[in-house]
């Protein structure tokens, strides 16, 4: 069986000659995380120590070799010497062991508590508070730097360059953990509770080399919640990718966890157990909202709305300046409560604010469903009869469509299966993503293929199209998605509700 690309194994030893050691330190100088963002001081101190040691070596006549020897007490990024691993307090597995940050002196070791298993401390250190915005921003640091995968080397921030070292860095744990200890810093949650910054963990205690892996959950890729954005450290470099839930292999063994130190700060906000309700309890007054308003309460409103299902209205996140996105999102929440007319004007009143702060009332329904007080086929916040269109920041899958043409050759709309999302304004009902997967066969696949050909996106068909999903279908869908200006996870070749709507519009 071919080993998954993320398998952690022992690579060949790295060169430890003085020239290579100096080169590694030189390459690391520009890659450290800033101290203000939680970077490791030793990574910054290593450079100063090397410069001072070099100067001292020249004065004393010791040359470059003496300088490098003097700098050794403050090790920088590079491979771990075998002696370091043999004396580590971790499991005897090919994964990187539990260890302090590279460059930080190891703590004084003593007898292991009887209740502590190998590589798993009796109790983790006190968790560091961190908000979700910082978690995702830290995940992007290695992504932007394209950190190469290695279970024996350490990046300039002191964290090991494998999957568990990456999560340790993203959560700012202050130590290098492994897949057998990360859960001690977290609480198991459900799929429905997942939010950006949580992790999906698979640890095989019987054989940690057989598929153990961990990723950071970056949010759902679409409203079907069959795919999510994964931030992970894997070969060859750190990556961000739309991934099937829970993973490409052993999906049922990946369990969701939430870091115990997470607070708030990303969308949606997460209430901390025992903490006061999110938002300012006292309503600041309607004068703080509406055109021209620019204050912290507008930002606070947007964050609470996003936590109730309004993420699609905010493509750039919340802002202190009032915008049409705020009005549409507020109106969508008000309509979800069944309010109409002046009660759903998009300006928050005391009742709207109280429901948001206390997390009461109904959430904004996902796109494709009808909220109370909304005309079917009308997006939340859209006045019926004012023409098609989507709210600012609408995610793919939202908004009414235009009825398909009735000219000869028009594809016959497929019969919607149970559970399909209702179509809008003449667009056939979206059957669901599960039918557009390898090995699946359904009339909707045939209808999709024929529509792609009609739209001029059938060049990958050598025969057909047909009712069985194929790679040709995927590539043609991807071409269509790219023609809409979508990139990344939005152009993966698998049709979501918005791809479907635009094809049949």
- pLDDT attached to residue 307: 82
Q: How many CA atoms lie within 13 A of 282 on its CB side?
A: 1
CA-based Rg of the chain, rounded to a whole angstrom?
Answer: 27
Predicted TM-score of the model (pTM): 0.39
Mean pLDDT across the stretch 112-122? Answer: 42
Mean pLDDT across the stretch 228-239? Answer: 94
- pLDDT attached to residue 321: 93
81 pLDDT more than 90: no
Measured CA distances, 391 to 39, 309, 318, 362, 424 (Å):
40, 14, 15, 20, 15
Could you give the CA distance from residue 71 to residue 437 in angstroms, rounded to a whole number? Answer: 55
Mean pLDDT across the stretch 245-254? Answer: 91
Note the pLDDT tens digit of each residue in 446-482. 999 999 998 899 999 988 788 999 999 999 999 999 9
Higher-pLDDT residue of 378, 498: 498
Residue 139 parent element (H or E): helix 132-145
427 pLDDT more than 80: no
Structure tokens belonging to residue 89 = 């307090």
- pLDDT attached to residue 79: 41
435 pLDDT more than 90: no
- pLDDT attached to residue 275: 37
Beta bridge partners of 294: 321
- pLDDT attached to residue 449: 92
Mean pLDDT across the stretch 168-195? Answer: 92
Mean pLDDT across the stretch 389-416? Answer: 40
Higher-pLDDT residue of 313, 281: 313
Q: Residues with Cβ < 8 Å from 88, sequence gap 6 or more?
A: 97, 98, 99
By C-alpha distance, which of 288, 282, 500 is closest to 401? 500
Mean pLDDT across the stretch 118-136? Answer: 69
434 pLDDT more than 90: no
Per-residue confidence band for 101, with pLDDT thresholds at 50, 70 and 90? confident
Instruction: Say if CB 357 and CB 403 are below 8 A apart.
Output: no
Note the pLDDT tens digit of each residue in 351-386. 999 899 888 888 888 764 444 333 333 333 333 333
Instruction: Say if CB 33 and CB 103 are below 8 A apart.
Output: no
283 pLDDT more than 50: yes
Per-residue confidence band for 316, with pLDDT thresholds at 50, 70 and 90? confident
By C-alpha distance, which of 242, 260, 304 is closest to 478? 242
144 pLDDT more than 80: yes
- pLDDT attached to residue 352: 93
Per-residue confidence band for 223, with pLDDT thresholds at 50, 70 and 90? confident
Per-residue confidence band for 216, with pLDDT thresholds at 50, 70 and 90? very high
Mean pLDDT across the stretch 108-117? Answer: 43
- pLDDT attached to residue 426: 54
Helix (H, G, I), strand (E, B) or coil at 497: helix
Higher-pLDDT residue of 90, 235: 235
Higher-pLDDT residue of 389, 503: 503
- pLDDT attached to residue 113: 43
Higher-pLDDT residue of 394, 477: 477
Higher-pLDDT residue of 440, 33: 440
Note the pLDDT tens digit of each residue in 193-204. 899 999 999 998
């Amino acid at each position: 069986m071919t080993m998954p690309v993320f398998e952690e194994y022992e690579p060949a030893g790295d060169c430890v000659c003085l020239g290579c050691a100096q080169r590694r330190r030189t390459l690391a100088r520009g890659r450290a995380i800033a101290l203000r963002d939680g970077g490791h001081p030793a990574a910054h101190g290593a450079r100063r120590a090397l410069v001072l040691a070099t100067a001292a070596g020249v004065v004393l006549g010791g040359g470059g070799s003496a300088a490098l020897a003097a700098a050794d007490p403050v090790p920088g990024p590079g491979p771990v010497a075998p002696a370091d691993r043999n004396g580590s307090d971790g499991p005897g597995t090919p994964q990187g062991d539990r260890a302090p940050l590279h460059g930080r002196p190891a703590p004084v070791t003593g007898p292991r508590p009887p209740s502590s298993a190998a590589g798993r401390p009796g109790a983790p250190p006190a968790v560091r508070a961190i908000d979700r915005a910082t978690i995702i921003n830290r995940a992007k640091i290695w992504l932007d730097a394209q950190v190469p995968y290695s279970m024996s080397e350490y990046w300039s921030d002191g964290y090991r360059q494998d999957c568990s070292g990456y999560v340790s860095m993203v959560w700012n744990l202050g130590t290098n953990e492994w897949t057998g200890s990360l859960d001690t810093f977290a609480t198991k949650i459900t799929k429905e509770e997942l939010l950006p910054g949580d992790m999906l963990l698979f640890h095989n205690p019987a054989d940690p080399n057989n598929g153990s892996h961990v990723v950071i959950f970056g949010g759902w890729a679409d409203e079907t919640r069959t795919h999510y954005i994964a931030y992970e450290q894997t070969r060859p470099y750190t990556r961000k990718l739309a991934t099937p839930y829970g993973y490409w292999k052993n999906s049922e063994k990946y369990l969701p966890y939430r870091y115990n130190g997470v607070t708030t700060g990303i969308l949606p906000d997460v209430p901390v157990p025992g903490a006061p309700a999110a938002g300012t309890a006292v309503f600041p007054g309607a004068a703080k909202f509406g055109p021209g308003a620019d204050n912290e309460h507008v930002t606070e409103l947007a964050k609470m709305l996003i936590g109730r299902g309004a993420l699609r209205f905010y493509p750039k996140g919340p802002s202190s300046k009032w915008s049409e996105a705020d009005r549409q999102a507020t109106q969508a929440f008000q309509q979800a409560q069944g309010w109409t007319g002046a009660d759903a004007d998009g300006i928050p009143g005391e009742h709207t604010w109280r429901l948001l702060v206390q997390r009461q009332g109904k959430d904004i329904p996902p796109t494709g469903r009808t909220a109370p007080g909304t005309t079917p086929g009308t997006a939340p916040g859209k006045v019926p009869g004012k023409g098609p269109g989507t709210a600012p920041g609408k995610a793919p899958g939202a908004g009414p469509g235009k009825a398909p043409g009735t000219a000869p050759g028009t594809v016959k709309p497929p019969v919607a299966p149970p559970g399909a999302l209702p179509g809008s304004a003449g667009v056939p009902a979206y059957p669901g993503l599960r039918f557009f997967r390898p090995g699946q066969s359904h009339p909707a696949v045939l209808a999709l293929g024929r529509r792609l050909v009609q739209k001029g996106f059938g060049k990958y068909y050598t025969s057909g199209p047909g009712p069985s999903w194929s790679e040709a279908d995927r590539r043609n869908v991807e071409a269509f998605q790219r023609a809409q200006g979508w990139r990344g996870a939005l152009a993966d070749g698998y049709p979501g509700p918005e791809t479907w709507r635009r094809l049949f519009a």
